[in-house]
Structures are given as C-alpha cells and as structure tokens.
Structure 1
Amino acid sequence: MNYIIVAILILFSALFSGLTLGLMSLDSYELKRKKSLGDKDATKLYPIRKKSNLLLCTLLIGNVGVNSSLAVFLGSITSGIIAGFIATALIVLLGEITPQAIFSRFSLKLGAKLTWFVRIFMILLFPVCWPIARVLDKLLGEEMATIYSKKELMKIVEEHEDSVASDVKEEEERIIKGALTFADKKVSNIMTPRTEVFALPYSQKIDVASLDVIVKSGYSRIPVYKNKLDNIVGILYVKKLIGDKNKNKKVFQACEKKVLFVDENKGLAQVFDSFLETRNHLFVVMDEFSVLSGVVTIEDVLEEIIGSEIMDETDKYEDLRKHAKQRLKGKKKRVVV
C-alpha cells in the first residue's frame, strides 16, 4: 500500500514541479493577446495565470506538502544509506528534472489540459495561499509587460520567418523591418544625391534633340533651375510633353512652378507625412546653407518601408542611389546638366 501512495505522491510532485515552471514561464500579457485572438489553450489558462501570486503560492505550497509527505512514506519503506540515495535520485529524476523538462517545452498545451488540477488545489489551499498572495500583490504590484526594442522586434520577426511553423513570409519580414527602421533615418540617407540629379536650365528650348535627351534620361519628373543648380524654380513633368503640339516651347513654359523643398536632416516619418499632405511626389532637398543636396521622391520613402525598389513607368534605373555610388567609383567629378 505504501508503494502505491509513494507512486501517487511522486506523480503529484511531478505535476506541481512541472506546472510551477511551465505556468510561471508563460507571460500573462502574451496569454491575454492569444486569448483575444481566439486561442483555446490561452483562453483556459489566462484566468488562472493572471492571478500570478496566488497561482505561485498554490503550486509551491502544494509541492512542499507533497514532498514532505513523500519523505515520511519513503522512510517507512526504505532503510540504509544506499536505499536513501536511490529513493532521493528517483524523486529528483521523476519528480523534478523530467517534469520540468517536459513542461518547459509544452507549457501551454499541458497547462491547458491541467487547469482542472490547478483549480482544485487553488480552492483547497485558498485559506493558506490567499493572504500570502495578497501581501505579495501589495508589495510587488502587477506584473510588468515585456517591452521589446526595435532591434529585438526585428530579431523576433526574423526568427519567425526562419521557422517552419511560422506563417510569416519573407516579403512580410522585409516590410516589417523596413517599417521599424525607416523613422530613424533622415532624408540624406535615401535621397538621390546632387551628383546624380538630372536637371534642365530654365530657358532651354524643348526641341527634338532635347526631348530625346529628356526621354532617354529615364526620369518622369525633372527639376528646373535658373542660372545655377542651387536655384530650383520648377519641376518638369515629362508625361505632359507627350503629344504637346508646341514643339518650340521652352522649359519654363512647360514646367510646374510649384516646388517643395525639404531639409536634408528631416526624418523620413515627417517627410512621408508631408508627401501625403501635399500630394506631391518629389521634394528638392537642401542643406542648412540652402545649397542643393539632391532630390527625394515618395517612392524613395516607400522603398525604405517595403525593402525593394518601386519602378516608375518611365524609370531607367532601378536604384538611383546605387547607380550614383557606381558612377562615383568610376569618376571623381560629375558635371550636372
């Protein structure tokens, strides 16, 4: 009979030990989130897990009580030093190490299946555990939610995408990472630099030859300058030239006079808001001395979010910044036309 009682007590010890590690390792805020998404296991566990101090007291006191009883019954069926060591080894292996190893890996599934067991002992031990739990609640307060930094969030997304069990795709990972990092960048990090800006002089005539150059440039919007490149006075929309019957029109007659300027040190989040507010697609980038630094488009900002290139219908180069770097490697000087 004593052997049966010892076996039952070892089983109870294993359950208390495994549940203590498994349930307390579950984040209550994560369970709440999963519960709101319809996870059945989280729905079962959350009402118990949110009472963290009461749960912890119940499991620990239950485990202490079981182990104390186990020591008494083992003393009645074992004698001698060797027998004592064997009994202790079995308790540690079957009542501690093995259940904790199992519950640490399957804490949510096993915990959900054993909520009935936990509830029974929470009721039985309530008179003892409730006062202790109340004191701990007052002293320690509520559990703190786990807050992740941007780098940690990106690492989590990366790990999810790499996992076979995850439904996060590579494209989604790229977009999430882009969205998390783009607000930390400035216009100067993504703009097409001055050395690669294709611009037209204010008074240039749009004849067949110049139109051919414009079309071959591959740009849909071209800055227009007067006297010097730092003095941008308009934006020429190439699509408006198509079908224009006036073949001898000058650039200043065809361009839009409305030019929007942005500081090179402005954050991308602010610039993106400005693009949405103004419904413009291109900003001229200036430095603190009102010298032209380059140009930036809404496509440049969106590319930082989605992590891949957006091709305009008339774009010639997939990535002007990459193209600029390649050109600068081959040439020390660049003449802007």
Structure 2
Amino acid sequence: MKERIISAPQGASFKLRLFGWDLNGTWPWVAFAGTRQEETGVVEDAADPCEQETRRVSAAFQVTGEFTADEEYSGLITVQTRDKSSISPAASSTGGGDDANPAYHHHHLCVLKNGSWVSVGPDRLQINNDAGLPADYIPPWGMAVLIVLLILVCGVLRSVNLSLLWLDPLELYVFHSCGSEEDKRAAKRLEPIRRRGNCLVCSLLFLCALGHSVLGVLLYRVLGSIAPAVFTSGFLIFLVSELVPHIVCSGYGFQLAPGFTWLAQVCMEPNRRKGSCSLGTKREITDSNREGIPGPVEEFSRGALRRKTVEDILTPLNDCFMLPSTAVLDFSTMSEIMQSGYTRVPIYEEEKSNIVEILFVKDLALVDPDDCTPMTTITKFYNHPLHFVFNDTKLDAMLEEFKKGNSALAIVQKVNNEGEGDPFYEVLGLVTLEDVIEEIIKSEILDESDGYMDMKVKRPMAPLEIPLEPRSVHQEFSLFKLPEGEPKIRTSPQLLLATHRFLSREVEHFSPARVSEKVLFHLLRHPSVNQEVHFDPSNRLSPDHYLYTRNHPVDYFILLLQGRVEVEIGKEGLKFENGAFTYYGVSALTAPTSVHQSPVSTQRRPPRDPFEMGDATSPSSYCPDYTVHALTDLQLIRVTRMQYLNALMASRVGQSPESPEIKILPNSQTKLLNERNTVTQGRSNTHCTHCIHTSLY
C-alpha cells in the first residue's frame, strides 16, 4: 500500500481487512467500482461510481468467498484480481469503452447500505490495478525458504553465543594450563575471542534481535494477522533458537566452540572498536586474577569441572577394613587396627553389608589391651551415628554433607530392584572426605597410612626394609603379635616393644647395623630368652638368686626388665643396687678382650664389624669379676652367645645383596635358635681361660 493506493498484479488473490461496525449484515454487501483518472492525477468529480452496476460488475477486483469476522469491529474478505481478457464483453461495452480496462481504472470500495450501493469514507479509497509485480513481492516458495534460513541463522548465532561464552576467562586459562593436549589447543584458539567477550555479546545480541524482528514481519505477511504471526514467531524462536542450542551446547559446547571462532570474528568485527572500551577493565581484572592462581588451585578448578557421583569413587565393600561386632579389643585386634592406618573402622554383624556401628581410633586411647574389652562395649558407649548416602549422590552434594561436620565417612547404598522379592537397600562400599577431595584435585593425597595399601589402584604395601636408623620407618606392630599355636610369652607386648627399642638404640651389639629388626623381634619373643627369677626371702643365698658369680664363666647376656638386683664388684666388694633396663655381660656375646668393662654398661663402644666372628666361635668363655644376685622377683631377657651368633647369621642372610630372593620366615629364626641351643646345652664349659678385672667407673 502506498499513498492510500493498494497495488496488486493481475490474477492475484489477497485478503483485505475491513474495520467498522455492524459488519454482520446480509452478504454480499461489499463490492468494488472502477473510475477513470484524468491525466492530471485527480479523480474525476462525477456521480458515485458504486451506483452503476456495470462498473461494479466490470471491476477488475472481485470479492470471492464470504466475509469472516474474527473480531468485533473487523473482518477479512478475499479479493481476486482479474486480467483484461476475463472481463465479459457485455460488461465492457456497457461500461463505455475503457471503463473496464483494469490498467486505467481506480476502484472504490462499495458497500450496500439501505438497499443502495455507496462508496465508504470521506476520502474515497482508490485501488490501483497495476499489471506489474510490486517491488517487495516475494513468491510463497521464496518466503518459506527465507523463513527457514532466518530461523537457522538465529539458532547458529545463539549456539555461537553459548559455546564461546560457556567458560569464563579464568576457567579457560585453567584448561590451557592443565588440560589435555586437545583441551589446550581448543583453549588457545578460544582465548583471544573470550577476552573480547563483551564485543561478541553485543554483536550476537544485535544480530539475533534483528533476525527475530524480520522473522515476525515475514510471518505477518504470510499469515496476514498479528496474533498468529506473534505466537508462531515466538514458538519457532524458542524451539530452534533457544532450546536446541542449549541442549547441544550443554554437552558439547567446549568441543563445538573452536569451529565457531571464524564466525565469531566476523560477527564482532563491526562492534570491535565500540566494545573495546568496556572490555579493557575486564581484561585487566582477568589478567590480575590469572597471575594470582597458584598451581594447586589450578588442579582444584580443573577437577571441579568434573561431575561424578559417589559410586564412581567409593571403595568397594570387599576392600574395606572392617571388624565384626564380636571382636575383642586385645593386643592382636588393636595392633590390626593400628596397622590398617584408618581413623574410622566400620563394625558389622554377621556379614559385611550389615554395618551397625562405627569405631573411632581415638576411642581406644583409654582402652587397655590386657582387659580384652568387647568391641560392642566401646561402640555402644560412644554411639557414633552412621551416615548413609545413595549411589547417585553428586560429589558437590557429598562435599557439602561432609562440611557440616556430621561425619567424614559415609556408607554408600542403592535400592536393589532385581529379582522377584521386594526392593531392599544394598550396601556398595564406603566413601570418605579424602576420596572426594582427591577426586576434586585429581591427585592422590599421601599420608602416613598410605604405606599399607592404596585401595583404588590395589597397590600392595612394600616389603619391610631394614634401615640403618629405626626411627625413619613406620613400626610394624604386627610383629609383636603372638604366633598362632606357640606358648604364651610372659612378657607383655608393651614391654616387649620397649625392650626392642631399648636394645636397638642403646646396646651397640643389637643395633640395626648388626641385628635386623625382624630378627631381633623373633629373638625377644623366643620362650628361652624370656625368663623369670622367683625370689625366696627365706633362702636369700640360694644359687638360683645369682645371675652372675665372680670368676665363674658365663656365655650369656642379661637385660633386667623388672625387679631389683645387688651388684658386688672389685676386690673391695663395693655393692650397689640396680633396677629395670640395666644390662650385664655384653662381652659374653663377642670374643673376649683385655678391655676392662663395668658390669653395668651405659656407654656405647666404637662399632665393630658385625660379621667378624672368628674369635667368637672359640671355646673361650667370659668370666665376670662381679656378682649379681636378686633382691626381688625378676623378669629378664637372657641371650646366650650361640643365640646371638644365630641372630647375626640370620641378619646377614637377610641383608645379603647376592640373594635378594631369600625371605626370613616368622618361625625360621626360632627353629634355628632351638637347634643351636640344643647343641650349646650339651656342651660343658668348665674352665675359665680369661678373667676381666674391672674397677667401678
């Protein structure tokens, strides 16, 4: 429509909307009538052309169909244009020559009012029947193609916006620094585009808004009504330009982004200079944030991008360290707990999937292993709550639960619907706060307990090595446990542990350089090494009370563990008393020397070759020049020279680099000591070849 003249080609059909009141009259009441236009362009001032029936009949515009009232004061009519050949000759001749020629006539809109036809409006509507196509005419197939292309372009622009802006510059920098090779290449291509994110957003928003506006106009031309055009345009924009790009980019946004970089550069080029002003501040902030990112935070950010459930990181139930509710907290059980390295131990009844309690290692601080306290006594006293989670719980939600402080260990379960019975809860395993943190930072957290076993990679613990310095290794408390089937040792495990540490650190002959830790453990646990002396007050001079007698040959070493003894030394007969952890007869373990030695050794001597035993195998014996007899009941460690030599030989085999495959079995030293002691007991040492005269230091 131009200057109140509607132009339409010959043979075209279009809809015309009429506005007014009382539009529901008897049909037909609308028609068109043609008039001649003078060369000056002014409509001739003559009688109303609508009154002439010939002009209405011969008009190039004819109303087809019925009037459709879609609103209260408006409706649609369908108008069909006719070419010159379709006009009847009678109408043409009656109309007077060129009146019926559609190329030279304007047409007035006529309505039937009170039985007569009149033109409507003070300014008569003039319709120009032009045979040529209008300048903005688009055929139906072209309109359909244009609408489809426009919708697809809007969807692509939205996909570019979502994919390229899915990660902020900080997260993109993390991928560039810590990601895989493919991620690094993609981040390198996206980083220049993402730094100018403001320009990109402005350009894409402008293009999308322009496309949405054009789409609405085209749909209005196709549908001819505002309401259908608006709703159709909104639905297509939501479905193709919003919903589909979000679905695609939510899973593959980072993978698709590198392919859109060229399109993004083209789109934001017009707004590059305009957007660079506001981008400068954000770029400076991003650069400052990037400079302050340490290495661990990069790993944390990279791991935080992963979305996993607790089922992906849990420790399977069969690999968990658990104890039955019927267990007794004796030395064996507590040693097993300490050896596991865990601070929380689940307690189950009958089967591992039935977890009923949880034991904290700190709960055992006041428990004496000698009391053999039942496990249920401790667990029911503290009554720690159990924390159950489902297998599909996200790690971020699991971390929030741990942050509340209720527990650092959770039991993972799922609903088992398999089979014909009712659904039930099935326990899958355990998950801890450490597991969640390790998954977030994508790195293993090593602590003092990781030397036992890594449950995730099934890494067995390393074999026990023999260090030069005992304090540098984790103590193997299981070596203090009593072997199954052997008679019970009179020395308590705690006292045995203290004895081992004292000998290995204070007595040079039992240092790790000479006797390995394992061999010393088995030596101290041997029944013949642990002895007791019962003191009889009524017979103080009983020979059983004397541990050493002056000038009487001996071949054993004694360490006093409990009780008191009296030592008489020298020709003057000086006497003094000693108590626990004093030792005598160190020289009896090695070759006799002319060096004077105190009966109570408190100083370390320069180390000798631990495997130099040429003189040690001689029949010579050690003759002390002091006397040691008991004053109370005694508990002591008595090691003979042959037992000590056997320990040296066993340590030498274990430390030999020529045969690393030789392993010292728990009972091998015991068997060796028993055999050699049998030979020693049958041998009689009746003469003293060397006596040591010492004085009190």
Scaled by the length of structure 2, the TM-score of the pair is 0.26
Give 1 or 2: higher strand fraction.
2
Scaled by the length of structure 1, the TM-score of the pair is 0.48
Higher RCO structure (Cα 8 Å, ≥6 apart): 1
Which is higher, the Rg of structure 1 or of structure 2?
2
